[in-house]
């Protein structure tokens, strides 16, 4: 294994020991697939039942034993707008513990490269659009996910602090809203795209004349296909070594109302769509400025309709698994 203690842009050795935290989740499974495709031969993963990342002693023991060279942290308590507003204490506490345990253990046991994943909800609710990385900590957060956002902001600062104190090559990236194969299709706790895919699919199959979606349909959101994020993760580990976080998105957005029509078309649902205004809208707009990652040489490659089609094919092939 080559010495990775000095950063130089370029391919990581394919025999580097890479720990993908959260390797069974939406992001972690895509990262794992991409690393295998790229020829990595020494991957490490643990499910939450094998290793509870909230438990500091367990995490210390795991790192002492496995001593990964590279860590991609895609483990977190994750959910859509309703899950975030219903369980804020869990989103704050679980995520602070998971990321703190991983970051401290990695630095202590000699992990040389690490990528921490946050989320675009770390930025102020009314940040200027598109949202640049410099908007961090310049205004009040969106209340439906402030607890989760504060945990993720702590992760960014923790990465910066470890770089300053120990000189490690750890970085962070902030993805926009994601979707893809292996998503969470829970009817209440999921994000908007898997929630809609499931609802429109079930309505088409049952012949229901109406599907009800949440909120006003007016908020604007940007959506990144998860395999594109997986390629960005490897790209950043191989090409970026700075304290500032890096946004990962596609650079354009659409209204939730237009998203609903697009998902309905992909699924083949032809009934009407109604809106439940008792459900929260969340932040009015969340479009990332992706010029930093674009100027480094990476951009997203999967369009929304292609990504949704691939996701729906996966859903149809994994109906039992997807319904939990």
Does position 185 interact with ligand F7E (CB under 6 A)? The reply is no
**Binder to ligand NDP among 4, 13, 42, 52 (CB under 6 A)?**
52
* Residue placing its CB nearer to ligand NDP in the complex, 16 or 174: 174
Could you tell me how many residues of this chain bind ligand F7E (CB under 6 A)? 24
Closest CA to 18 of 8, 37, 32: 32
> Which residues have CB under 8 Å from 313's CB, separation 6+?
none
The DSSP code sequence of 25-84 is SHHHHHHHHHHHHTT---EE---TTT--TT-HHHHHHHHHHH--SEEEE-------HHHH
Does position 221 interact with ligand F7E (CB under 6 A)? The reply is yes
Phi-psi region of 16 (alpha: psi -120 to 50; beta: other; left: phi over 0): beta
Closest CA to 172 of 223, 224, 237: 237
Q: Which does 264 bind (CB under 5 to 8 A by kind): ligand NDP, ligand F7E, none?
A: none
For this structure, is 148 an active site residue? Answer: yes
We find the least distance from the C-beta atom of residue 81 to ligand F7E, in angstroms, to be 3
We find the least distance from the C-beta atom of residue 80 to ligand F7E, in angstroms, to be 3
> Which residues have CB under 8 Å from 127's CB, separation 6+?
135, 138, 139
Closest CA to 44 of 26, 31, 60, 57: 31
Rg, C-alpha atoms of the chain: 19
* Residue placing its CB nearer to ligand NDP in the complex, 98 or 213: 98
The catalytic position among 19, 148, 179, 269 is 148
**Binder to ligand F7E among 102, 234, 250, 256 (CB under 6 A)?**
256
**Binder to ligand F7E among 196, 197, 229, 264 (CB under 6 A)?**
196
| Distance of alpha carbon 293 from alpha carbon 60, whole angstroms | 33
| Distance of alpha carbon 240 from alpha carbon 83, whole angstroms | 33
Using DSSP's 3-state secondary structure scheme, residue 140 falls into coil
**Residue 84, annotated ligand binder?**
no
**Residue 246, annotated ligand binder?**
no
We find the least distance from the C-beta atom of residue 270 to ligand NDP, in angstroms, to be 28
We find the least distance from the C-beta atom of residue 309 to ligand F7E, in angstroms, to be 19
Active site residues per annotation = 148
**Residues interacting with ligand NDP, by CB under 6 A?**
22, 24-28, 47-48, 51-54, 74-78, 98, 117, 119, 175, 177-178, 184, 191
Residue ranges at the known binding site for substrate: 199, 214, 221, 281
């Amino acid at each position: 294994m080559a010495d990775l203690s000095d950063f130089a842009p370029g391919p990581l050795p394919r025999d580097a020991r890479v720990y993908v935290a959260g390797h069974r989740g939406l992001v972690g499974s895509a990262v794992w697939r991409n690393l295998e495709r790229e020829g990595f031969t020494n991957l490490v993963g643990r499910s939450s039942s094998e290793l509870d990342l909230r438990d500091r002693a367990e995490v210390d023991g795991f790192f002492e034993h496995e001593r990964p060279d590279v860590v991609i942290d895609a483990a977190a308590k994750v959910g859509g707008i309703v899950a975030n507003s219903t369980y804020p204490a869990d989103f704050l506490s679980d995520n602070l513990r998971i990321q703190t345990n991983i970051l401290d253990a990695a630095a202590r046991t000699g992990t040389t490269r690490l990528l921490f994943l946050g989320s675009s909800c770390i930025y102020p609710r009314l940040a200027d659009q598109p949202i640049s990385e410099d908007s961090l900590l310049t205004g009040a957060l969106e209340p439906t996910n402030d607890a989760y956002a504060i945990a993720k902001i702590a992760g960014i600062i923790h990465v910066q602090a470890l770089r300053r104190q120990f000189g490690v090559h750890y970085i962070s990236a902030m993805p926009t809203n994601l979707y893809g194969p292996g998503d969470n299709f829970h009817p209440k706790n999921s994000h908007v795209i898997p929630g809609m895919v499931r609802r429109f699919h079930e309505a088409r199959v049952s012949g229901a004349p109406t599907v009800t979606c949440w909120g006003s349909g007016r908020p604007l959101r940007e959506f990144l296909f998860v395999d594109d994020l997986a390629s960005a993760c490897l790209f950043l580990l191989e090409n970026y070594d700075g304290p500032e976080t890096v946004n990962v998105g596609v650079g354009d957005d659409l209204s939730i109302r237009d998203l609903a029509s697009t998902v309905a078309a992909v699924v083949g649902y032809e009934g009407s769509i109604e809106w439940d205004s008792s459900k929260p809208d969340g932040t009015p707009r969340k479009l990332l400025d992706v010029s930093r990652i674009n100027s480094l040489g990476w951009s997203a490659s999967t369009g929304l309709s292609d990504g949704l089609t691939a996701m729906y094919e996966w859903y149809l092939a994994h109906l039992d698994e997807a319904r939990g």
